Amino acid sequence: MGIVRVVDVSAEGAGLRAAIEATAERYTGVEDEDFLRGMPMLAALLPEHLVLALRRLMLEESAPVTVVRGFPVPEDLAPTPLHWRAADPAATLVPDLYLMLLGSVLGEPFGWRTLQEGRLVSSVLPIPGGEQEQTGHSSDVCLEFHGEDAFHDMRCDYLGLLCLRNPDRTPTTVGAVDLSRLPESDAAILSQPRFRLWADDELRRNSATLTGDEAATDWTGERVVRVLFGHPRAPYLRIDPAYMRGSDEPAASALRRLAERLGESLVDVVLEPGDACLIDNYRAVHGRKPFTARYDGTDRWLRRVMVTRDLRKSRALRASAPSRVIL
């Protein structure tokens, strides 16, 4: 199956950036309530062919990854920070607004209280001390393929990544298989709640600092889940092999065979500055090849947004109806 569809907005890039720069003057940031309310209208700034491509990603369920090339990032981009907390929101406002508008075509952007304090647009960058972890802040190791936040029932429908800097051309990896072609015996097992799943190290670590109403989700335990769900002839996928185990030997074997198929399907996507990658989190997995972090301000730096098709379903885990942060 074709995994990646590429859309080029180079011809419209300069005008698009100028329009978003003008828009940026009206808002304090991507979490400005007026901006969030107006996103559907502001998405009209995007080229029509780009909007149609994103709608195809959402509605047709063909290629599960769309790469958008050609948006010019600011030439005076700030150095890559040593930690996500050190990132200045003003320094990335224009690309962040662009990424949010891309996400708004697919649904409603949201955040996790346990992920970078609930920021709607977060940073993917190497952090000293995290080189070996299975999180977006590692560098020395391969970030194994996974579905984003597979642990949580309210995980995103779509994941959006926007490259600000990638000096070594480190590939993002994406993969998908035709799940309708799995052996019937494996599909039957994978569709049963026979798989134990844990949250990743970063989310578990961050959840330990939350108390009271902020701790609506228990990130420290395990969940027993189905890997396949939805339509039996075109199922969706919930998988994170690094944090997932079969509850019995047949389940473990079926999971291993599926993971092998997904691993064989992986393709490299090298994101250049200004490139965005929109991933259907129910049909594709993603990861990253290793690289050597320099911690000198020039390291790989992506911005990330998570999008849900239905914000209302998480209302019990949000402080208020307008809030976009899941606790």
Binding residues for Fe cation: 146, 148, 286
Q: Which residue has the tokens 């134990």?
A: 196
Residue spans of alpha helices (H) in 43-92:
48-59
Smallest Cα–Cα separation from 64: which of 52, 54, 74, 51? 54
Smallest Cα–Cα separation from 281: which of 112, 119, 153, 155? 155
| Binding region | 146, 148, 286
* Distance, CA of 129 to CA of 317 (rounded, Å): 31
- What number of helices (H) and strands (E) belong to the chain? 7, 17
What does the block give as tokens for 164? 């600000």
Smallest Cα–Cα separation from 289: which of 174, 176, 170, 200? 170
Q: Which residue has the tokens 């991507």?
A: 30
* Distance, CA of 152 to CA of 120 (rounded, Å): 17
Q: Write the DSSP assignment of 266-319 as a string of letters.
A: -EEEEPPTT-EEEEETTT-EEEE-------SS-S-EEEEEEEES-GGGGGGGSS
Q: Write the DSSP assignment of 127-178 as a string of letters.
A: -TT-TTSSSTT--SS-EEEE-TTTTSTT--SEEEEEEEE-TT-PEEEEE---
CB 302 within 8 A of CB 137: no
* Distance, CA of 98 to CA of 161 (rounded, Å): 11
What does the block give as tokens for 290? 């290793």
